[in-house]
Amino acid sequence: MPANRTGSAGTSPTGSSPAAGALAAAAILGFAGGLVVSSFAGFRDFLPELLRGAAVTVQVAAGGSLVAVAMALLATAARLYAPLPLRWLAVAYVELFRGTSALVQLFWLFFVLPMFGISLSPMTAGIAALGLNIGAYGSEVMRGAIEAVPRSQWEAASALSLGRFRTLRRVILPQAFVTMIPPWGNLFIELLKATSLVSLITLSDLAFKAQQLNQTTLRTVEIFGIVLLIYLALSLLVTLAMRALEHRAGRRLLRGKETG
Amino acid sequence: MNESPASSSETPMVRFERVSKRYGALTVLDQLDLDVASGEKVAIIGPSGSGKTTVLRVLMALERIDDGVIHIDGEPLTHMPQGDSLVPADARHLRKMRGHIGMVFQHFNLFPHMSAVQNCMEAPISVLGLGKEEAHARAAELLTMVGLADKLDHHPAQLSGGQQQRVAIARALAMRPRVMLFDEVTSALDPELCGEVLNVIRELGSAHQLTMLMVTHQMGFAREFADRVCFFDAGRIAEQGSPEELFGNPQHERTRQFLRAVMEAI
Amino acid sequence: MNAHWDWHYVHEILPILGEAALITLQATLLGFALALVIGLVLAVCRMAANPLVRHAAAAVVEFIRSTPLLIQIFFLYYGLPEFGLALDAMLAGLIAIGLHYGAYCAEVYRAGIDNVPRGQWEAAAALNLSPQATFRRIILPQAIPPIVPALGNYLVALFKETPLLSAIGVLELMQTAKILGSESFQYTEPITLVGLYFLVFSLLSSGLIRLLERRLGVRAASRS
């Protein structure tokens, strides 16, 4: 779940460069684990059901990601550039969702909101809760990245009499974008992991299917073993995708620097 | 060619035998031969990248050598006897041999979380098994010797560069080494602080039978203090001799070039 | 608020939630203590001379961090009995949390250790200190203080994940709130109160960490 994993002391979990070795090691471990697991009889019985659950997990993760990015953008824009009341609102949003537990937020949306006459489906509640939660962390990431762009870039742009918005869009954001990618990669992985919480509000995702199968077959180690591997595979996919994005964006920025 | 004047018959305290050290394609020590007699003070000079600091670092066993053997007082440092042959030393042998050697670094490398006296007590207690009081007495005595009697409980951050370097010297001496290595010990200091450190080394040289190797850019100090000066170039000793010979009448073109360049800089 | 908020009910459940809050606090502190130890062990393994140990530790860290804590809790709670090791829910949950955050702490330790200058290792070697003494007396005391804020952030993160223990029936805050809600069909008060509890504690501890960071920053600046 969204810890303060984007913060201090250079502890970017999956984005660091030695992680390349760790990634390979994890892949090897996953492969070895996969071999062990698949040698269990009955592996084929579980897999289709678990994959159906995984599809729901992916859906929640994808929906949550969209909401998270949108909320992060809104909150960041509001905190940096909106008039005061809106700014306070954005700060309150970020602090509220970073300060409370994701599970509490999920339960609140699912159990408490209906008391106010707003009933959300488990899927909607899940996507909304996780998106709002990760979005709050994402806003911190965005603000940090924007503030990390050297002051001199603003000055250079205003020397060219570019407007504030234009400077932001054409000068600041492209640079901030690159620094933002690794921490966002970590957030997406946190989001993916946090999707398992929706099983606790009856949405039949991967974690839910695992528990269900576990209760009917009692073959705990095999089932949860496979489930961990599926999550691992999904995480690795996210990591690889984000790394590819980082590579492309970084190259473009570098090229821009060379010619400019 | 590398026989030193002081060590005619007895076992040299330090002996490099065809020692090579490479970093990838770069050879920093090229089949180096060097003997240092007990009690001898050797200054090592030369252009940067000539391998002079590496001599000290491999002697302290901070880095492994790729070829050759180093002996300390007749015992192999980098190797140990096994049957009839020499095999690369294990950690235990290295630790035993390191006990003979002390080193002072360019950047002091004091332990920032310990006071001056604690810096000097840590290893005697942990390695030599000294009692706390004995270690404190020894540390206090050495710190007094280097002129820091009133700074025992100061932390490195509260000391000037020259004072820090003097603590570092006391710290190394507290282990009672037989060989002391000084790696450009004044290079990181403001010029006005060099004197106090060099004075300590000067006293050390006159009062003790310590064998000393120092890498230095202070030609004046090398000339006055050393028994022998070695000019390093490209991982070898290009020329060596007494300070008078080497500074007064250098034989090699490279040595002359180097000395000219250094003098111009002053 | 509005008509949905029942102060009388709040009064009634507050003592019950207060007791559960103690369990949450307990789980947080014990889990974090475990994470600190496991993290250090993992960090040391990641720097081991033996490449097999090094890579295995890296793989374990990566694996733990790439999979959900909830599944890890289930795995330990439901799975360990198959190996003849039945743990009660609290203990299984604590181990899972300790492992999960241990993997994160390992990276923090590693960053802290990497930041100790190489000269410190060399000075220790030149003084002939044993590897253990070097690590314990020279490296760790310098590596730890700068990473205290980062570790503190993980403490707060861990605290906010203790509600996951409700999934295996540990009677911490969330589980207690859920039970209270299902008994009275009044979810608003218990879950909101739980949220408030987390909010207050998180804000407080984040403030503390920021204070600590500033003090450490000041000290680091005065040093250089």
Structure tokens that stand for C102 in this block? 């241990």
Contacts of C138 in chain B (CB under 8 A): 111, 122
Q: Please compute the mean of the pLDDT values over residues C87-105 and round it to a whole number.
A: 95
Q: SS3 string of chain C?
A: CCCCCCHHHHHHHHHHHHHHHHHHHHHHHHHHHHHHHHHHHHHHHHCCCCHHHHHHHHHHHHHHHHCCHHHHHHHHHHHHHHHCCCCCHHHHHHHHHHHHHHHHHHHHHHHHHHCCCHHHHHHHHHCCCCHHHHHHHHHHHHHHHHHHHHHHHHHHHHHHHHHHHHHHCCCCHHHHHHHHHHHHCCCHHHHHHHHHHHHHHHHHHHHHHHHHHHHHHHHHHHHC
Total tally of structural domains belonging to chain A: 1
Q: How many CB atoms lie within 10 A of CB B69?
A: 15
Which pLDDT does position B185 carry in this prediction? Answer: 93
How far apart are the C-alpha atoms of B192 and B180, rounded to whole Å? 24
pLDDT the model gives residue A42: 59
What is the SS3 assignment for A159?
A: helix
> Which amino acid is present at C3?
A
Fill in the DSSP letter of residue A150: -
Q: Is C77 on the interface with A (CB under 8 A)?
A: no
| Residue of C60, C111, C188 with shortest CB distance to A9 | C111
Q: Do C142 and B112 touch (CB under 8 A)?
A: yes
Cβ pairs A/C, distance under 8 A? 185
- Residues (pLDDT < 50) of chain A are 1-18, 258-260
Q: Does B64 touch chain C (CB under 8 A)?
A: no
Contact of C6 with chain A, judged by CB distance below 8 Å, is answered with no
Find which of B90, B103, B106, B126 to mutate to test the C interface (most C CBs within 10 Å of its CB).
B126
Other CB atoms within 10 A of residue B227 CB: 18
Q: How far apart are CA B209 and CA B211, in angstroms?
A: 7
| DSSP per-residue letters across A42-83 | THHHHHHHHHHHHHHHHHHHHHHHHHHHHHHHHHHHHHHHS-
Q: Are B172 and B101 in contact (CB under 8 A)?
A: no
Asked whether residue B52 carries a pLDDT value surpassing 70, the answer given is yes
Which amino acid is residue A243, in one-letter code? R
In Å, how far are A80, A81, A156, A256, A257 from A163, measured between CA atoms? 16, 14, 12, 21, 22
- What kind and span of H or E run contains B133? helix B132-145
More confident residue, A47 or B118: B118
Which pLDDT score, from 0 to 100, does residue A5 have?
40
Q: Does C174 touch chain A (CB under 8 A)?
A: yes
- Give the three-class secondary structure for B17: strand
pLDDT by residue (tens digit) across C26-59? Answer: 999 999 999 999 999 999 999 888 999 999 999 9
> pLDDT digit string (tens) for B14-40?
999 999 999 988 999 999 999 999 999
Q: Which residue has the tokens 């100061």?
A: B154
**What rounded mean pLDDT belongs to chain B?**
91
Residue A33 is predicted with a pLDDT of: 65
Q: Does residue B217 register a pLDDT over 80?
A: yes
Token readout for B167 is 């603590």
Containing B15, the helix (H) or strand (E) segment is: strand B14-23
Bridge-based pairing state of the strands B75-76 and B67-72 = antiparallel
Greater model confidence, A55 or C221: A55
Q: Is C59 in Cβ contact with A29 (below 8 Å)?
A: yes
Give the pLDDT confidence score for residue A41 in this predicted structure: 58
ipTM score of the complex? 0.88
- For residue A22, give the nearest of C62, C188, C213 by CB distance: C62
**Residue A37 touches partner C, C-beta closer than 8 Å:** no
Enclosing domain of residue A111: 21-35+45-259
User: What is the spatial distance between Cα C152 and Cα C101, in angstroms, rounded to a whole number?
Assistant: 12
Query: Hey, what amino acid is at C32?
Result: F
The predicted structure's pLDDT at residue A2: 41
Residues 123-142 of A with CB under 8 A from C: none
Instruction: For residue B22, give the 3-state DSSP assignment.
Output: strand
Q: Which ranges in chain B are annotated with CATH 3.40.50.300?
A: 14-100+177-265
CB–CB of C72/C100 below 8 Å? yes
**Average pLDDT rounded to a whole number, residues B120-148:** 96
Please write the tens of the pLDDT for every residue from B179-213: 999 999 999 999 889 999 999 999 998 887 899 99
- Cβ within 8 Å, pair B122-C127: yes
The chain C residue lying nearest B94, using CA atoms, is C128
Mean pLDDT of B136-163: 96
Q: Which of B102, B112, B126 sits opposite C126 (nearest CB)?
A: B102
- Do the Cβ atoms of C62 and A19 come within 8 Å? yes
CA A63/CA A256 separation, integer angstroms = 33
Of residues B4, B10, B76, the one with CA closest to residue B35? B4
DSSP B62: S
Rounded distance, CA C186 to CA B21, Å? 77
Kindly report, residue by residue over A58-73, the tens digit of the pLDDT: 999 999 999 999 999 9
- Look at residue C129 and tell me whether its pLDDT is greater than 80: yes
- Domain map of chain C by residue range? 7-113+146-223
Query: What per-residue confidence (pLDDT) applies to A17?
Result: 44
| Element spanning B106, H or E | none
DSSP string, B203-257: HHHHHS--EEEEE-S-HHHHHHH-SEEEEEETTEEEEEE-HIIIIIS--SHHHHH
Mean predicted confidence (pLDDT) in B122-146: 96
* Cα–Cα distance measured from residue B262 to residue B256, given in angstroms and rounded to the nearest whole number: 10
Taking an 8 Å cut-off on Cβ atoms, the answer to whether C66 and A189 are in contact is yes
Chain B residues inside the 8 Å CB shell of C127: 122-123, 127, 171-172, 175
The stretch C98-115 carries a mean pLDDT of 96
Rg (CA), chain B: 19
Mark whether A and B touch (3+ CB pairs within 8 Å). no
Percent of chain B past pLDDT 90, that is, above it, reads: 77
CA separation (Å) from B140 to B102, B116, B150, B175, C138? 18, 9, 10, 13, 21
Beta carbons of A224 and C75 less than 8 Å apart = yes
Fold entry, domain C7-113+146-223: MetI-like fold (1.10.3720)
Instruction: Give the CATH H-level superfamily of domain B14-100+177-265.
Output: P-loop containing nucleotide triphosphate hydrolases (3.40.50.300)
